[in-house]
Each structure stands twice: as structure tokens, then as C-alpha cells.
């Protein structure tokens, strides 16, 4: 364990050292290239900042409005019919929108039901098999100036839906095989 800790602490400094050594061997101006990259990074942050502000504002309004709870109440009879745990729905609805909100919901599920519970495991698998779609699309397309994201959004949301459903199904199958 100490060996793993040693190498993990050494990894980043070694990577930086390798980059600098490679730049010197190739006779590149390493520090000038670093400064140019930092300037480009600041420009990208300035470009995507309004998009991020709008996205965070919309997430805050959605969470505080109570609309998520309303949708979950409406969907609960259908979810019970298909044996989808309604406790997972806040996570399933927030995951494509906000990473920090979905982490908070997943942590709350794990605190309430336990990390080794069926719901805790499902939450973990959902977190690993889905993406914060709206944030990712906003950042990446905003950084390169793409305006038409309709098909990217549709494909991403379908992938998130499939990831959530498959997570529940696989966890249910796995829990039955271990019971």
C-alpha cells in the first residue's frame, strides 16, 4: 500500500518533468508555450462563462421550485408498475443536468439506505454510467463556437436514459444472483 501511495504522489511531478525534458530535447520554448496555453485557456473561460452562469441559474431554479418532486409524484405509479425504484428518480433526473447536484443526491441515497444497499449500488452504477449532459455540451460546444446542438443533445439524453435503465436492470439481476 505504501508503494502505491508513493507512486501516486510521484505521478504528477514526473509527468511535468517528462514534458519539460521532452520540450528541451525538442528545443521548444517550454515556458513560452506554457504561457501561450494559459492565455488561450483564459480566453476559453471568458467565452463559456455566460453559458455556465445560465446553466447554474437554471439548475438552481429547477431544484428550488419543487418541480422535481412534482414529477416524481406523478411518475411513481408507473415506476412501481415497471419495478423501477422511485427513490432513484431524483438522481436520474438531475444527473444529466448537474454533476454536483447528482453527487449530493447519490450521497444522500447512500447515507439513507447504505452504500451496500440495492439503492446505494444502483446510485453508484448510475453515477458511473451517465454524464452531466447539459454541462458537457454547454462547455465543449461553447468553447468551439458550435450553436446547433439539437442532435447531440438528443443522442446524449438517449444514452443517459439507456445508462440509467440498464444500471437498474443489471443491479437487479446481480442482486438476485447473490441472494
Span 115-127, pLDDT tens digits? 999 999 999 999 9
Domain ranges of the chain: 48-178
pLDDT of residue 129 exceeding 90? yes
List all residues 6 or more positions away from 93 whose beta carbon is below 8 Å from its beta carbon: 68, 71, 72
Q: Which residue has the higher pLDDT, 93 or 62?
A: 93
Average pLDDT, the chain: 87
For 44-54, what is each residue's pLDDT tens digit? 888 878 877 87
Note whether 175 and 85 are within 8 A (CB). Answer: no
pLDDT of residue 179 exceeding 60? no
pTM: 0.67
Confidence of residue 84 (pLDDT cuts 50, 70, 90): very high
What are the cell numbers at 21?
525534458
Confidence of residue 178 (pLDDT cuts 50, 70, 90): low
Query: In this structure, how many other beta carbons lie within 10 angstroms of the beta carbon of residue 20?
Result: 14
Return the closest-CA partner of residue 118 out of 82, 83, 94: 83
Query: In this structure, how many other beta carbons lie within 10 angstroms of the beta carbon of residue 72?
Result: 17
The reported pLDDT for the residue numbered 55 is 72
Over range 113-141, report the average pLDDT: 90
CA dihedral over 72, 76, 81, 85, signed as positive or negative: positive
CA-CA-CA-CA dihedral for 72, 73, 77, 81, to nearest 10: 20
What are the cell numbers at 131?
454524464
Amino acid at each position: 500500500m505504501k508503494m502505491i501511495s508513493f507512486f501516486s504522489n510521484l505521478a504528477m511531478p514526473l509527468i511535468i518533468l517528462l514534458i519539460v525534458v521532452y520540450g528541451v530535447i525538442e528545443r521548444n520554448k517550454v515556458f513560452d508555450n506554457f504561457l501561450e496555453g494559459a492565455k488561450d485557456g483564459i480566453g476559453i473561460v471568458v467565452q463559456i462563462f455566460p453559458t455556465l452562469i445560465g446553466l447554474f441559474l437554471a439548475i438552481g431554479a429547477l431544484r428550488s421550485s419543487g418541480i422535481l418532486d412534482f414529477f416524481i409524484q406523478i411518475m411513481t405509479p408507473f415506476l412501481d408498475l415497471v419495478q423501477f425504484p422511485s427513490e432513484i428518480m431524483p438522481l436520474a433526473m438531475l444527473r444529466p443536468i448537474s454533476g454536483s447536484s447528482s453527487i449530493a443526491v447519490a450521497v444522500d441515497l447512500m447515507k439513507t439506505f447504505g452504500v451496500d444497499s440495492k439503492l446505494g449500488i444502483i446510485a453508484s452504477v448510475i453515477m458511473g454510467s451517465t454524464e452531466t449532459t447539459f454541462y458537457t455540451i454547454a462547455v465543449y460546444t461553447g468553447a468551439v463556437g458550435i450553436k446547433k446542438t439539437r442532435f447531440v443533445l438528443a443522442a446524449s439524453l438517449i444514452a443517459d436514459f439507456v445508462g440509467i435503465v440498464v444500471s437498474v436492470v443489471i443491479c437487479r439481476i446481480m442482486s438476485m444472483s447473490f441472494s
